[in-house]
Amino acid sequence: MKRRDFLKMSTAGLALTSLPGWANIANPERRLVIFFLEGGLDGLSTLVPKLEGSLESFREELIPNNLLDLSSHWALHPAMRSTHKLMLQQDILGIHATSFPYTKRSHFEGQNLIQGGGLTPFSESTGWVGRALDIASNGGRAMSLDTPLLLRGATGVDNYYPAQVNGSANPTIDLLQRLNGGLSPEWQIENEKLISRLDGRVFNSRDRSPRGLSAEAGQALARPDGPVAAMIRLNGYDTHAGQGGKNPGRLHSLTGELDTCISTLRQNLGAAWDHTTFITLTEFGRTVKVNGSSGTDHGYGTAMLVGGGAVNGGAVLADWPGLAKSDQFEKRDLMATTDSRSICAAVLEHTFGLEHDEIAERVFFTPNLPRLTDRIFL
């Protein structure tokens, strides 16, 4: 199987992370949601630098019609109407020309690096959210192999993926207790955990779509005793062909799906939106120039969205590098001028009440990581 086929085959997923009951963090009501956009988001067609004179010369056919204006400088992809509305309402901030410090353009390496948050791919067995939660809760570790790397390291990790088997979305305590007899001691412990959680269970749906998972995540996170972090995995952003622009293509569907997920999450969070921050992550950006298949290839710099009630939104934050050939990374990609880890660190600082220096040193192993918290949050 080719890697691209594998990427196409994998489906949306949701993982949630809870803090142990005895954890004592500064603002226990705060929540974090990560939309993980697998495949490499084309930031230039999502958050479009309208003033960039050379954009048309490199990719005229990829520039969507009916862009949603943000300002004289920027516009959003036309499929992102809810996101646009939330940006105008100052609840979402766009950040452009960002990337993790990874330039080799491999999906597997890139995805591992942005989840692990280490200095090189596959160097970490825990993820940056998991490490931050460990620091916040001073907790021991309970690691599940199925847990996304991003969340590994945290205590009380809950993996959720709605199954389509009849009755599987509503396991009964009786059934689970009967299962207990046939399980090995270590799995009995896990089974007991599941049984104990049934009373407070919030999952009722078997909707495996990204929208359905976003709704589940919102409802779970909104509970006062609910999980503190969620990762929602969306895939298909590897738009080598048929990306679309003047005519709607794959990116139109993908950004529309993300847009729906964001509005669904907000709707299901309700008042908890005021205490929730979401970010989008993707392993890399895409080439500036359109390829021969009306798509784009793996690149470097991309764009991120950060949203939520406490976000100082209604703007685009960027150290814009320009798109002239000489300004591009290796004369082909958008140059990344803002380290995505700085944005992640700000989100961790705000959500879990950790010190920036501690996050820089113990979560991202980069003591001199710039602090952007005041630029992102109110």
Partner 1 sequence: MRALIIAVIAVVLAACQANPTTTGGSGANSKQAQGSYPSGLKRYEVGAELKQPKMNMAQSAAAKEAADRARNQERNKRLSSDTARAALHFKEQEGLFVWKHRFGEFSGKALNPREDLNIPGGNGYKLAVDGKFNRWKVNVLLRSIDFGVLTDRSHMIVAHINKGGDHDKLQPSLKLWDKALTTCRSTLPYVFGDLYLVLETTNPLVAALQVCLYEETKGDQFLSAFMKGGHALDDFVGNNGLDITLNEASSMY
CB count in 10 Å sphere of residue 186: 8
Nearer to partner 1, 68 or 234 (CB): 68
Residues in the chain: 378
Nearer to partner 1, 132 or 222 (CB): 222
3-class DSSP state of 192: helix
**Residues 334-363: x where in contact with partner 1 by CB under 8 A, - otherwise, as a string:** ---xx-------------------------
Give which of 13, 74, 82, 87 is closest to 44, Cα–Cα.
Answer: 74
Q: Name which of 52 and 257 has its Cβ closer to partner 1.
A: 52
Residue 73 touching partner 1 (CB under 8 A) = yes
263 touches partner 1 by CB under 8 A: yes
CB atoms within 10 A of CB 372: 22
Residue of 17, 45, 82, 243 interacting with partner 1 (CB under 8 A): 82
| Token pair for 38 | 């697998």
User: By C-alpha distance, which of 367, 320, 332, 339 is closest to 52?
Assistant: 320
Q: Report strand pairing: 338-339 vs 92-99.
A: parallel
Minimum CB–partner distance for residue 236 and partner 1 (Å) = 22
Task: For the chain, give the longest Cα–Cα distance.
Answer: 68
If DSSP codes are grouped into helix, strand and coil, which group holds residue 357? helix
CB of 94 to partner 1, least distance (A): 9
- Name which of 211 and 362 has its Cβ closer to partner 1: 211
User: Tokens for 173?
Assistant: 């305590």
Q: Report if residue 14 touches partner 1, rule: CB under 8 A.
A: no
Q: Give yes or no for residue 299 binding partner 1 (CB under 8 A).
A: no
Which residues in 175-214 contact partner 1 (CB under 8 A)?
A: none
Q: What share of the chain is helix, strand, coil (3-state, %, to 5)?
A: 35, 20, 45
Regarding 324 and contact with partner 1 (CB under 8 A), the answer is yes
Interacting residues with partner 1 between 267 and 296 (CB under 8 A): 267, 270-271, 273-274
The enclosing H or E element of 129 equals helix 128-137
Distance between CA atoms of residues 66 and 69, nearest Å: 9
How far, in Å, CA of 20 to CA of 53, rounded? Answer: 52
What residues between 83 and 112 interact with partner 1 by CB under 8 A? 85, 87-91
The strand pairing partners of 329, in sequence order, are: 333
Under the criterion CB under 8 A, does residue 243 sit at the interface with partner 1? no
Q: Closer CB to partner 1, residue 242 or residue 270?
A: 270
Q: Return the residue of 81, 208, 332, 371 that touches partner 1, per CB under 8 A.
A: 81
Q: Which is nearer to partner 1, 88 or 143 (CB)?
A: 88
DSSP assignments along 50-95, one per residue: TT-TTHHHHHGGGSPSS-EE-SSSEEE-TT-HHHHHHHHTT-EEEE
Interface map 27-66 toward partner 1 (x if CB under 8 A): ----------------------x-xxxx------------
**Residue 193: CB minimum distance to partner 1, A:** 28
Binder to partner 1 among 327, 357, 358, 361 (CB under 8 A)?
Answer: 327
Positions in the binding site for partner 1 (CB under 8 A): 49, 51-54, 69-74, 81-82, 85, 87-91, 263, 266-267, 270-271, 273-274, 309, 313-324, 326-327, 337-338, 375
